[in-house]
Structure 1
Amino acid sequence: MRVYAAAMDPLTGLLEGPRARGALMIRACFDPPWCVRVEDRAPLTVMLMVRGEAWISPDTGERLRLTAGDLAIARGPAPYTCGDDPATEPRAVILPGGECTYPDGRPLNGSMDLGVRTWGDRPDGSAVLLIGTYLWPGEVGGRLLDALPPLLSLPSDVWRCPLTPYLTDEIVRDEPGQPVVLDRLLDLLVIAALRTWFARPEAAAPAWYRALGDPVVGRALRLLHDDPAHPWTVASLAAKAGVSRAALARRFGELVGEPPMTYLTGLRLALAADRLRDTDDTLDAIARRVGYGSAFALSGAFKRVYGVSPQEHRGRAA
């Protein structure tokens, strides 16, 4: 019996990860010279340039220039600065939880607040960015974070997002349920952006993504994601893919970088981690759903890979 009603390719499974809960969403408005240092250790931050331009400068790695319509995604926890020019000194520092201070550590105490989710110099500043930040690692799947570079961008000539006008309007509204609306918009924005980015030839996509185009390994990957709870073996997977066991093992290892069963174990544990975070299912029910014979078996494998027990993982996510 199949556990999942519909087939799920690996990219779909990966992009199911972003699920914001009370994400930090702001409209940042500045006039030059301006610069903010970000040390919030957030797992993922999205920056959409609405007007003007900005430079994102990580402590290590290449700088990135944004112009109107461009989008950037920063993967934490490494710090970076965002400003009108790489040489501009920071005026503020963003710390974990959205706390803001001057560079010398004094609290800003709301001195740059401009209204509902609006922050900076003046509401009609020459540079305007929409910023969405996932505050906790549990809101973004580890497999997704591992697949991303520290900093990526989508320039406006390849990125046309229909969500931009809607997000621009919604981010400054103050109505019942607005945080939930913004959380879902942020998730959609990230999913749309990453789907576009992964499809670009210059994207440093993970090995499994590139392997999807292979007629043999791509078939095997889709089978694993379609039914991860099935008692797969290399032999049964090879039979479905139409090749010998040795041929599948060799080609899978060459293209994905790990054996088929190792990949399957990682997939099952990632699915279990998501269900521990997002549901109240018992450990035994989750074990059966992802392909483990018992809660004990899942617990042992989970702790070996994640370093904590499933119960500890669920508690941290809560």
Structure 2
Amino acid sequence: MDSVAAFLDGPRARQAFVLQAVLDPPWSLYVRDEAPLTVLAMTRGEAWIASNGTDPCRFRVGDVAIMRGPDHYTVADDPTSPVSIVIEPGQRCLSPDGEPLTERFARGVRTWGNCPPGSDGTMSMLVGTYVTDSHIGRRLLDALPVMTLLRDDEWDSPLVSLLGDEVIRDAPGQGVVLDRLLDLLLVSALRAAFGRHAGDLDEDGRRDAHGPWGWFRAHADPVAGPALRLIEDDPSQAWTVAALASKVGVSRAHLARRFSDAVGEPPMTYLTSWRMALAADLMLAADSTVTAVAQQVGYGSPFTFSTAFKRAHGTSPRAYRNTAAERDTA
């Protein structure tokens, strides 16, 4: 499995929050649900979308937006429309003054909005929210920008239409069907976005290591790319800059300089962050042990591994797994 495939292999939705929003103007959704990742797909009309601190972008039919949490974001019929609906953690829908709106705006099977009952609304949008980061993978979340907007003319996929057809069906096992379609839509959109940004350059005409897609672009670099693949394919190896340079066929100094320029951080810093992101995913397996995961990511001592893990994630490996399990069963 190549490293890009390893990233895209992460999403595994389980009881994801999937619905169709149908809205009439004026409307403005302020989403502060703290969810790790949400996929939005416009199926009728158009809107404006913005993450906190960014300028609003038009959101048209066929466009797909991937919003990485816990950052908040706004979707509205017009950038000047005042907030009319607030989405809280747990997908609780409230008015700005706290009035519950979930039942009031129910419009049928997995359909919700402010339009009159029986109306399709002037705007329709599919919403798929991953409830916990354990359903996506820490490596993927860490690599994504806050907002990824994929335009209709930048990719060709039947998945939005399929999800739209299935979201309003009420059939046995429908939740599983929607989970898998959401995974496919996310992975396909990310693959298209990766391809779109592969050749991005900075103002000096160099690969932009510090932009949100720097990691992916660095894989095309003739020196940094092979070194990245060595690290990602075999994180248990006791890699040093000298060992990586020998494998790539360049000097130690050249590898260190080229890697930092392309990736945005030194090789050993990237190695540690990759190991810790991978370890976070591995610890979620029910049969995982600290010792086994430590060995898989290149640590001979469980104690040393646990110290590094806590430094990276703010909690011990076991506590990290227990917290994720509690969220899954909540």
In structure 2, the residue matched to 1:4 is none
Task: For residues 116-146 of structure 1, give each alpha carbon's deviation from its aligned partner in whole angstroms, at most 9, with x where no partner exists.
Answer: 1110124522211001112223333344333
Unpaired runs of 5+ in structure 2?
Answer: 202-210, 326-330
In structure 1, the residue matched to 2:166 is 170
Shift of 1:21: 2.2
Instruction: Choose which of 194, 212, 224 in structure 2 pairs with 1:217.
Output: 224
Unpaired runs of 5+ in structure 1?
Answer: 1-6
- Between the two proteins, the alignment pairs up a number of residues equal to 311
Amino acid in structure 2 at the alignment position of 1:300 = T
Is residue 2:245 matched to residue 1:249? no
Counterparts of 1:183 and 1:36, CA distance in 2: 24
CA contact (8 A) 1:28 1:128 kept: yes
| TM-score, structure 1 normalization | 0.91
CA contact (8 A) 1:37 1:93 kept: yes
In structure 2, the residue matched to 1:87 is 80
In structure 1, the residue matched to 2:192 is 196
In structure 2, the residue matched to 1:61 is 54
CA contact (8 A) 1:272 1:290 kept: yes
Instruction: Choose which of 147, 153, 156 in structure 2 pairs with 1:151.
Output: 147
Matches within 5 A, 1:1-318: 7-9=1-3, 11-120=4-113, 121=115, 122=117, 124-201=120-197, 204-318=211-325
Task: For residues 41-67 of structure 1, give each alpha carbon's deviation from its aligned partner in whole angstroms, at most 9, with x where no partner exists.
Answer: 222211100111111144421101111
Question: What is the percent sequence identity of the aligned residues?
Answer: 53
91-100 vs 13-22, which moves further: 13-22
Q: Measured at CA, do residues 49 and 298 of structure 1 come closer, stay the same or move farther in structure 2, by a change above 3 Å? A: same
Bigger RCO of structures 1 and 2 (CA < 8 A, at least 6 apart): 1
SS at match of 1:22: coil
Amino acid in structure 1 at the alignment position of 2:317 = P
Counterparts of 1:312 and 1:173, CA distance in 2: 39
Counterparts of 2:99 and 2:289, CA distance in 1: 46
CA contact (8 A) 1:198 1:205 kept: no
Q: Measured at CA, do residues 109 and 42 of structure 1 come closer, stay the same or move farther in structure 2, by a change above 3 Å? A: closer
CA contact (8 A) 1:70 1:159 kept: no
SS at match of 1:144: helix
Counterparts of 1:200 and 1:284, CA distance in 2: 40
Q: Measured at CA, do residues 110 and 279 of structure 1 come closer, stay the same or move farther in structure 2, by a change above 3 Å? A: same
Counterparts of 1:149 and 1:211, CA distance in 2: 16
SS at match of 1:73: strand
Counterparts of 2:79 and 2:215, CA distance in 1: 36
Counterparts of 2:212 and 2:147, CA distance in 1: 13
Shift of 1:109: 4.9
127-136 vs 258-267, which moves further: 258-267
Shift of 1:309: 0.3
Amino acid in structure 2 at the alignment position of 1:169 = D
SS at match of 1:21: coil
Amino acid in structure 2 at the alignment position of 1:268 = R
Give the aligned CA root-mean-square deviation in angstroms.
2.0
